[in-house]
Structure 1
Amino acid sequence: MSLPVLVLAGSRDGAEDPLARLGRVAHKALLPVAGRPMIDRVLETLSTTTGLGPAYVSIETPEALDSLDRAFTCVPTARGPSGSVALALDRIGAPLLITTADHPLLQPLWITEFLRDAEASGCDLAVGIALRPVIERDVKGTKRTYIPLSDMKFSGCNLFLLRTPRGGAVVELWQRLERDRKHPLKMARTLGFGILLRALFRRLDSATLTSRIQALTGARVSLVPIAHGRAAVDVDKPQDLVLVEKLLAEAS
């Protein structure tokens, strides 16, 4: 049985997104990376990864992708990524692998190892992460944004597996937090003040965090380390584009 994949490509700014302007393209997803639209690189990787398909792309302007010679189906976006995932989950169901259009370094090996470890964990929702030492080993000199827990520092890898329908409850929690992102007290009430205090004082560990999510949603979440530091490198800003093209040149 093939695993459906959702590629998040929404951009509220469209052609006015800074990266779209930089690449002189109609949408950020089409930003040329070493001569090819970065979403094309993602779709190629997905198409060559055993066991994946069909592919869905969440984008607000499907016509922007008309020039791509790939097999995919466009699905609607919402105001934020959590809403877009919720819309896709209603249509496609679980299990569902999720990645993003701005991940042009994505490799089949990273996906297959992530899926293997997510399946072994028995979770409802798996989140791919890269630990700081792994990133610094594989991408020397890079400056990434890390999430500091008491037992690890990590960056996300833009890989998620909604392994069971129960994982949808975590998406609902994500939507609530996204709606309240400008209202810290509301977020605190949702997550619990104890959790936020632990995070503030760097005393929050991964087990406590995932246990709290399970208490709130009934879904088991697993943070799945990926053993390849480049999996944490996406293209969010011009400096990222320079780095990714350098890494692609080194690998060729």
Structure 2
Amino acid sequence: MNALVLAGSRPGGDPLALEAGVTHKALIEIGGRPLLTRVVGALRDAGCTRVFVCCEAGPVEDLARDLGADIVPPAAGPSGSVLRALETCGTPLLVTTADHALLRPEWVSGLVEGAPADCDLAVMMAERARIEAAMPGSRRTYLRFADGHWSGCNLFLLRTSAARAAVEEWTRVEADRKRPWKIVARLGLGLLVSYGLGRLTLARGLARLGEGIGVRAALVPASDGLAAVDVDTAQDLEDVRLLVGDGARQVR
């Protein structure tokens, strides 16, 4: 199993990184280790044979090489970077992000082992009750479905080459982010009605979306709500540092 860590930078720099006094978010330290070091270490402990890091030339690339990772130059947007990585890494490919500070090997194993044998793409998501039990007060973005409120875990398994179609669709969604009606139109009337009436479960929603682009997509629910906690804000950073007992200066 190969793994890809998305560690690119935003144009103009990441505000959280600047507050923390580093050039890139992947270099923010938690528990005395940069975010990227924590993520790559978890992937190796999970048994990933090769770890690829998508990043620009500079200090993040230097750190990635020191960690023994291979480098994939970033493309336009996260989806473009994943497509570029697929050309190099092939499938199966596990994809995550450098700000997944709490990433644990068992979550990676849980996604790989929990993915149905006939799926092309598997996505890990966590239900709100599990997240709030694991980290009370954590603010996450939730999607409401018939079987609960769910948040993404930044863990994706591109299990077969057919999963490329899903990444290509992701690229089109990114291109239409300022034209939301185009994104909604792709869902189809039946799916939208089921969702609006509160009858659509997350697993069925993913499967239906996959069917629309010729991909067998599956949900793997996270057993630990912390799997949905990444470092997007100063509050996230403070919460995660407290959780791991980090004595470093907290960003506010």
Q: TM-score w.r.t. structure 1 length?
A: 0.90
User: Tell me, which stretches of 5 or more residues in structure 2 are unaligned?
Assistant: 247-252
The Cα shift of 1:79 comes to 2.3
1:66 positional shift: 1.4
The alignment status of 1:25 with 2:22, answered yes or no, reads yes
Contact 1:157 1:232 in 2 (8 A): yes
**1:118-158 alpha-carbon deviations (Å, 9 max, x no partner):** 1x453110001111111122112222211111222111111
1:8 match = 6
Alpha-carbon distance in 1 for matches of 2:103, 2:127: 17
| Residue of structure 2 aligned with 1:74, choices 63, 71, 76 | 71
Assess if the C-alpha contact under 8 Å between 1:146 and 1:155 holds in 2.
Answer: yes
State yes or no: 1:41 paired with 2:49: no
User: Where in structure 2 are the equivalents of 1:146-161 lying within 5 Å?
Assistant: 146-161=142-157
Which residue of the other structure, out of 99, 102, 106, is the alignment partner of 1:105? Answer: 102
Which region of structure 1 is more displaced relative to structure 2, 56-65 or 5-14?
56-65
CA offsets per residue over residues 78-100 of structure 1, 9 Å max, x none? Answer: 22111111111122111101111
User: 4+ residue runs of structure 1 moved beyond 6 angstroms?
Assistant: none
Instruction: Measure the CA separation in 2 of the matches of 1:91 and 1:189.
Output: 33
Change (3 A) 1:20 1:192: same
Cα deviation, residue 34, structure 1: 2.7
Taking a change above 3 Å as real, the CA distance of residues 194 and 61 of structure 1, as seen in their structure-2 partners, is farther
Query: CA 1:210/1:67 → structure 2, altered by over 3 Å: closer, same or farther?
Result: closer
Match of 2:71, SS?
strand
- Specify every segment of 5 or more residues in structure 1 that has no aligned partner in the other structure, as ranges: none
1:70 CA drift (Å): 0.7
Aligned 8 A contact 2:52 2:72 in 1: yes
The residue that corresponds to 1:233 in the other structure is 229
Question: Are residues 12 and 141 of structure 1, via their aligned partners in 2, closer, same or farther at CA, if it must alter by over 3 Å?
Answer: closer
Tell me if structure 1 keeps the 8 A contact 2:203–2:219: no
CA RMSD of aligned residues (A): 1.9
CA distance in 2, matches of 1:180, 1:208: 24
Identity in percent: 46
